[in-house]
Amino acid sequence: MTAFPVWDDGTTAASPDHQLHWYDDRTVIIRQALHTNFEGPFSYLLIGSERALLLDTGTGDIDLRAVVDKLLAGREVELVVAHTHGHRDHVGGDGQFDTVVGKSAEEVAQYFGITGWPEQIVQFDLGDRVLDLIPIPGHHASDIAVYDRSTRLLLTGDSLYPGRLYVVDWPAFRASIARLTDFVAAGNPVELVLGAHIELTDQPGIDFAMGADRHPGEHALQLDPAVLTELADVLAAAGDTPQRIVRDDFIVFPLSAGGEPL
């Protein structure tokens, strides 16, 4: 593992349209530049001996296909394109790829062989690299978390990252985060939690304005696994009533079914 970069803060329009970080020699973190879209989503490329998994295709404002093709050049692997969930800022580049796992929960479950959504955790083997896929609906109906046994990274999409955790289905979200902490406690230690956006500043609990495409002084992408426990604890304490909860490293942000803040 090499040190994480300082991510492009969006203040230079002439900056490249994406930024790469090789976490190790089989793991690439790709960030779409904020100046191409304020969402600035992160995608992950996990490479095994037989397959590579691209998790999320961003907003579609950059040529992600060219980026991925270059990263995989010279490797004899099949590319599987799937998503942390089906929101448009994570599936926007799907059309650039030949085959993509569908974005509904039903399609995700069918492709990966999940017959007991969302309780069932399944494995997906990239070849000498086993991933555990954990359904975690609540932000969106098709959310999954991906645990990589080799790096002990836990990829959490929009369900846990340094920003506003928009919760549409409160009971499902609480159950999902509890499922995730149970999975970790059952002997799956986590090195770092990596989500799909950064919306917090480097000041505890202080976020950038919604839609901000400049992030001077961003929070780091990576979260300590204790933050997952913290999220589970505050959700357990909150009970059945959706409520906004501001913590140093995340903000729980309930939405109505129509997408309005509660």
Q: Which ranges constitute the DSSP H helices of 141-197?
A: 170-185
Q: Does residue 129 come out as left (phi exceeding 0), alpha (psi in the -120 to 50 range) or beta? A: beta
| Neighbouring-strand partners of residue 52 | 47, 79
C-beta closer to Zn ion: residue 48 or 135 = 135
Give the 3-state secondary structure of residue 95. helix
C-beta closer to Zn ion: residue 148 or 158 = 158
Residue with tokens 């990576």: 222
C-beta closer to Zn ion: residue 89 or 249 = 89
Closest CA to 247 of 258, 239, 238: 238
Least separation, in Å, of the C-beta of 134 and Zn ion?
Answer: 17
Least separation, in Å, of the C-beta of 252 and Zn ion?
Answer: 14
Least separation, in Å, of the C-beta of 103 and Zn ion?
Answer: 11
Least separation, in Å, of the C-beta of 204 and Zn ion?
Answer: 22
C-beta closer to Zn ion: residue 102 or 152 = 102
C-beta closer to Zn ion: residue 9 or 158 = 158
Q: Does residue 211 come out as left (phi exceeding 0), alpha (psi in the -120 to 50 range) or beta? A: left
Q: Please say whether the beta carbons of 35 and 16 come within 8 A.
A: no
Least separation, in Å, of the C-beta of 57 and Zn ion?
Answer: 12
b/e map of 115-139 (b: 16 or more CB within 10 Å)? eebbeebbebebeebebbbbbbbbb
Site residues for Zn ion per CB under 5 A: 87, 89, 158
